[in-house]
Amino acid sequence: MSGSHAIVADGLGKSYRMWSGETQHDHLRTMLVERAKAMLTGRGRKREVGEFWALRDASFRIRHGENVGIIGLNGAGKSTLLKMLSRIVEPTTGSARIDGRVGALLEVGTGFAPELTGRENIFLYGSILGMSRAEVARKFDAIVAFTGIEKHLDVPVKRYSSGMYVRLGFAVAAHLDPEILFLDEVLAVGDLAFQRKCFDFTKSLQERDATILFVSHNMFNIKTMCDRVIYLKQGRIEYDGPVDAGIEVYERDCRLAVVSWDGGGDPEHWPIFVERCELIGREGCAKTVFDHGERMRIRLAYASRRPLVEPNVMVSIVRSDGVTCCTYSTEADGLSLGTVAADGTLELDIPITRLVAEMYSVKVVVRHKGYQDIVCAQIGTTFHVRDELLSHHFGVYHEGGTWRGDAIADASAPATERGPLAAVRD
């Protein structure tokens, strides 16, 4: 292998066999109990019904010192790729060669034994990452100090919160002194101070020319940390190149895509179809980046294939992790569309965008009158909300409050003048 490459992947693929009646097992004992019941009763036996390719034919080369973002919709194969590169999952096809010491912080809890304590899992996870017991013991105090969860060190990790999981995992990975680091969206978990500590550590690795693969739905973080992106779409590499162009391809593919859970049957037979979804800012122009507190208009252009009586059009704003932040409905807002039998447009004014800084998608669902069967379900477009302070640590949205108290410097000033976040951007 060339010494200039930290990672070389050739034709990586991973398929999973699909079985009838398959269920998810969190523990080995659960699987064994279910298998024993099936043997005793003769029921519950599964048959193979096909296979699912989570990733297929992924080939790329990453140089030492490169910081590469892995982006894609949920289920695109991002986590599967990092697990194969970390040798947690065996590839079905292809191979990957790694040149350097690897640290991996993947899905929360990956590599931990739930029944063991935090103290025991530090040694277990350290060994999984390639550290000797002597090395873990030598760095143990520093690892514990980094976690900030000293009081819970002798508690089984099955009782830990997701934030505590991340603290423990990142602390061990950080003290591995990795030359190659894999991060899978886990930095979105945890408090603001610890997230800052993790980013500072990641920046220090960048300064030492470490190689970083970073999975995230937050395009601002991708732009900040990475100089290249690999965009996965339905298990295949759709784009590999500069960040800005890759994000444009990703966001363009999101527009007007059919939602997988639509329930409306074949889109070719839908009575109505959204042909264009635009987000309009305060200047009256289409845009995809909004400041917190800015007004937004959603403009839909639809095509009518056959008459639809009093449809209920629902527009949802969905965060990058799949959380629905809010939903607007013509029915709920007292609007009757009558019989839609021709192409047209529909506009929705959102008074003030109070969402925190994140990436969001607009999903459009059309139902029969009331809240009956779905006849159309599409991802309209994606957009970003921008703010230097208001991240997910403030929740889904932030509305400035009114504060009163003896310690306020000028209690006579209106609340909107005292609070730097209270101004509305018209």
Per-residue model confidence (pLDDT) at position 229: 94
CB 277 within 8 A of CB 299: yes
pLDDT computed for residue 415 by the predictor:
46
pLDDT at 398 over 50: yes
Residue 422 has what pLDDT?
A: 42
Can you give the pLDDT at residue 192?
66
Helices 192-207 and 162-174 cross at an angle (nearest 10°) of 20
Tell me the percentage of the chain whose pLDDT exceeds 90. 23
pLDDT at residue 420 in the model: 42
CATH code at 5-252:
3.40.50.300
* Residue 41: per-residue pLDDT: 63
- Of the candidate ranges 49-58, 180-189, 205-214, 337-346, the one whose mean pLDDT is the lowest: 180-189
What is the three-class DSSP state of 412?
Answer: coil
User: Where along the chain do its domains lie?
Assistant: 5-252, 255-394
In the predicted model, what is the mean pLDDT of the chain? 81
* Least confidently predicted of 25-29, 58-62, 169-173, 264-268: 25-29
82-97 pLDDT, tens digit per residue, is 889 988 889 999 999 9
CB 286 within 8 A of CB 331: no
The verdict on pTM exceeding 0.75 is no
Locus of tokens 């912080």: 105
Q: Do residues 368 and 375 lie in contact, with contact meaning Cβ atoms separated by under 8 Å?
A: yes
| Each residue's pLDDT tens digit, 227-262 | 899 999 888 999 999 998 998 888 777 777 777 554
pLDDT at 110: 64
Tell me if the domain spanning 255-394 has CATH number 2.130.10.10. Answer: no
Residue 297, pLDDT above cutoff 60? yes
